[in-house]
Amino acid sequence: MTERKMCKFYNLNVPDRRPGEIPNQNNDDDDRNSDDPLEPYVPPHEHKLEYSYWMWFSRRPPARELSATTTGYGQALRMVGRVASVEQWWGLYMHLARPAELPPLSDLHLFKLGIKPMWEDPANVNGGKWVVRLRKSQTGRAWEDLCMAMLGEQFMVGEELCGVVLSVRFQEDHLAVWHRTAADAGAKARVRDTLRRVLQLPAAVGVEYKAHGDCLRASANHAAPAP
């Protein structure tokens, strides 16, 4: 699955311009490549979600191209679509590549609208993530279940939840749940427990916590020149 095909639903819910309509040069809606958090329109007959979301795709660049500010990573992100209803979600999801079809070092990010899947985003900078590693045979169902748990508010932490991530790697795949406040022990525990329940993880399967601040510092130290 190529990146171009992966991104065919970029700006999914921005309506096409009518024939003969003159574009408004001052209207961001006319920018088909915009990653602004435009709120998708939800028709009256659709089932509106509690929050609106956007899906991002990325192919991880080589480590030498990543900077302390993750400029290389940010440039690799491509917004796939926005959803605000159950119907819009399935319309997007049914056209996405499944985990088994994605090449290694690919990532899918389902985040609340307005939050980018980057450590530096204001909603993420003080937060962290729970990560679980899975066999490739388990990833497809687990990723779908995790997305549905987020859309269905199963984590029960409201605004604290930021997004979920699928990371396709060579030997195994990773799933992660991002939240806002690493210092909030209660929210952190609830996210972990819900992740384990949704994925039906056996007690022997571990989950790892990573604070985004630690990741940022490690990235900065790695990129800093030797004294």
pLDDT at 158 over 60: yes
The mean of the pLDDT values for the chain is 82
Q: What pLDDT, on the 0 to 100 scale, is given for residue 74? A: 65
pLDDT digits (tens, 9 = 90+) for 33-58: 456 778 999 999 999 999 999 999 99
What homologous superfamily is domain 36-223 in, according to CATH? Answer: RNA Cap, Translation Initiation Factor Eif4e (3.30.760.10)
Q: What pLDDT, on the 0 to 100 scale, is given for residue 218? A: 82
pLDDT digits (tens, 9 = 90+) for 164-192: 999 999 999 999 999 999 999 999 999 99
CB 187 within 8 A of CB 163: no
**Per-domain residue ranges of the chain:** 36-223
Query: Which of the four pLDDT bands, split at 50, 70 and 90, describes residue 88?
Result: very high
- Cα-trace Rg, the chain: 18
pLDDT at 121 over 90: yes
Least confident window among 3-7, 56-60, 104-108: 3-7
Q: Give one DSSP letter per residue of 105-169, joined into a string.
A: TEEEEEEETT--SSTTSTTTTT-EEEEEEE-HHHHHHHHHHHHHHHHTTTT--GGGEEEEEEEE-
Residue 136: Cβ-neighbour burial (10 angstroms; 0-12, 13-18, 19+): middle
Closest C-alpha to 179, from 138, 209, 200: 209
Non-local (6+) Cβ contacts of 80 within 8 A are 6, 7, 9, 10, 12, 54, 55, 56, 57, 92, 96, 108
User: Locate tokens 């020149």: which residue?
Assistant: 225
The pTM for the full model equals 0.80
pLDDT at 17 over 60: no
Give the span between the Cα atoms of 205 and 131, in whole angstroms: 11
pLDDT digits (tens, 9 = 90+) for 125-144: 999 999 999 999 999 999 99
Q: What pLDDT, on the 0 to 100 scale, is given for residue 163? A: 98
